[in-house]
Amino acid sequence: MSEHGSPEDITRREALGRAVSIGTGAWALGALPFLARCAPALRRDRPNIVFIFSDDHAPHAISAYGSRINRTPNIDRIANEGAIFLNSFCTNSICAPSRAVVLTGKYSHVNGKVDNSATPFDAAQPTFNKYLRDAGYQTAMIGKWHLIADPEGFDFWQILPGQGDYYNPDFLTPEGPVRMEGYVTEIITRLTLDWLRSGRDPDRPFLLMCQHKAPHRNWMPGPAQLHLYEDVDIPEPETLFDDYRGRASPAAEQEMTVRSHLQPAYDLKITPEPGSADAVGFPGYDRMTPEQKAVWDAVYEPRNAEFRAAAPEGDDLVRWYYQRYIKDYLRCVAGVDESVGRVLDWLDQEGLAENTLVVYCSDQGFYLGEHGWFDKRWMYEESLRMPFLARWPARIRPGTRIPQMIQNIDYAPTFLDMADAPVPEDIQGASLLDLMEGETPAAWRESIYYHYYEYPEPHRVAPHYGVRTERYKLIYYYQTGEWELFDLVEDPSELHSIYDEPARAALVATLKAELRRLRSQYGDRTGTEFPEA
Ligand SMILES: [Ca+2]
């Protein structure tokens, strides 16, 4: 073999992006937490952790990630004053499963929460907050939980039931349900600041999970954001009118299009004239007080009157739906961004910022009209990506930009590592602490593994699993036995699968071997195994 390796090695390097062997990468994943445990205990004052989590907030709606449709100055502050992870991915792009992965540091097939509704989450299993509590941390969980079972391992919790409501939401507490008047993002912010001010022991480190409902469907903005984007057109994504050619059959067979699957009343708030004989509200609207409805109607009714007068059809209707959808989504995002700023400001004012890790992330990415879609689920980039930004002045240099591929299995071991708490052997992720501090571990993962399950409801997205390297993505739809392969450099929008091109045979073989290795490494025997050759 030459110093550059065999043709197979070269293909493998090309597939995996860098000249580090697969075996070394695999070793590092298991060994990093072990090394962290064995390192001399730097038991300086243990940091506080403020974990700000939103729902369905795609990185491409954050200006620090280069958004072309909005600005998020407060979330950007975390990147400017800390670190931004440029290649952050989920393992299963859907709400409750992502939350279970975050809590356990384990893939869906291991923690048991593979889909939103059919499988339960066993809240009795070990989660990172329980380990932190055992290590002396105070633990608080405020906002959207979405795991049905009551939270365990928190000293304080106030959670939304299920998806929760945007206006006047109910909260579940250990003492029973409470209805709170107001807008959900503002209420969660207030509860968060209340707990920081007076709910905790100032002499012990804390974990605070502040988890927003916004910007989840049905995208109801708060009173302070209702008027944003009034007289502007948000740029359309290039793939708003995707025809799904060049890919396997599932892309065309989903039910998540802006054109046909957004519900006019519920999703788009297009309702008949108030007071008319056929006037209807929509779920969420019916929870508002008369005063809140009056404010809402004063904003939406003129917009709806304009829609009724224009009566758009065909592609014009899609364009109109897109504008209504994306503006409401971005209004909800603006509310979350404002909340992030208030929490950062409070930590600054109280002198707590220096040794507090503030993380902003969301449970998965989302389609903002790309491929003609809303929602998530796919291994395609828009929903595979998660934002992950971290500020911790004591340890993270301002403006740190981190290209390595991370996943939500990594959060739990990171938080345990930071707290000098042992990282259990069965956690599948690796601590991000070295990366945050600007160090590149001797070997980091060269590929990520993904597996989506939920089918057929609610959006008929075919179950699939796959592998993504720095440059390539191989996806297997096991119900139909179809494959897709994308070159993310040549085809970043993933419009043309190159799986069937004869010249790609060696690359396909390499990626299949890597996919087989990942399924073995993570112990995933769910989903139909793909055939040899
Ligand atoms: Ca979600």
- From first CA to last CA, the distance across the chain in angstroms is 25
Q: Is the pLDDT of residue 440 over 60?
A: yes
**What is the Å distance from ligand 1's center to 365 Cα?**
8
Instruction: Tally Cβ neighbours within 10 Å of residue 325.
Output: 21
Residue 184: per-residue pLDDT: 98
**What is the Å distance from ligand 1's center to 45 Cα?**
34
| Strand 472-477 to 464-469 pairing | antiparallel
Q: In the 3-class helix/strand/coil scheme, how is 427-479 assigned residue by residue? A: CCCCCCHHHHCCCCCCCCCCEEEEEECCCCCCCCCCCEEEEEECCEEEEEECC
**What is the Å distance from ligand 1's center to 223 Cα?**
23
Q: In the 3-class helix/strand/coil scheme, how is 105-139 assigned residue by residue? A: CCCHHHHCCCCCCCCCCCCCCCCHHHHHHHCCCEE
**What is the Å distance from ligand 1's center to 44 Cα?**
36
Q: In the 3-class helix/strand/coil scheme, how is 2-66 assigned residue by residue? A: CCCCCHHHHHHHHHHCCCCCHHHHHHHHHHHHHHHHHCCCCCCCCCEEEEEEECCCCHHHCHHHC
422 pLDDT tier (thresholds 50, 70, 90):
very high
Residue 516: per-residue pLDDT: 98
pTM equals 0.92
Contact 485, 511 (CB under 8 A): yes
**What is the Å distance from ligand 1's center to 512 Cα?**
29
Residue 277: per-residue pLDDT: 65
Residue 279: per-residue pLDDT: 65
> Which residue in this structure is represented by tokens 């502040």?
210
Q: Indicate the residue type of 231.
A: D
**What is the Å distance from ligand 1's center to 66 Cα?**
21
Contact 160, 171 (CB under 8 A): yes
Distance CA 158, CA 220 (A): 21
| Strand 138-144 to 156-160 pairing | parallel
Mean pLDDT of 161-170: 97
Q: Is the pLDDT of residue 9 over 70?
A: no
Contact 78, 490 (CB under 8 A): no
Q: Is the pLDDT of residue 23 over 70?
A: no
Residue 269: per-residue pLDDT: 95
- For ligand 1, a single-atom ion, the residues with CB < 5 A are 55-56, 95, 363
pLDDT tens for each residue of 322-355: 999 999 999 999 999 999 999 999 999 999 999 9
Residue 276: per-residue pLDDT: 73
**What is the Å distance from ligand 1's center to 384 Cα?**
12
Instruction: Tell me: cis bond preceding 218? Omega within 30 of 0 counts.
Output: yes
pLDDT tens for each residue of 196-206: 999 999 999 99
Of 98, 473, 68, the closest CA to residue 234 belongs to 68
pLDDT tens for each residue of 40-93: 344 458 999 999 999 999 999 999 999 999 999 999 999 999 999 999 999 999
Distance CA 149, CA 112 (A): 13
**What is the Å distance from ligand 1's center to 46 Cα?**
31
Average pLDDT, the chain: 92
Q: Indicate the residue type of 88.
A: S
Mean pLDDT of 435-460: 95
Tokens standing for residue 300: 């939406």
**What is the Å distance from ligand 1's center to 398 Cα?**
29
pLDDT tens for each residue of 258-313: 999 999 999 999 988 777 766 677 889 999 999 999 999 999 999 999 999 999 99
**What is the Å distance from ligand 1's center to 40 Cα?**
38
Tokens standing for residue 78: 């975390």
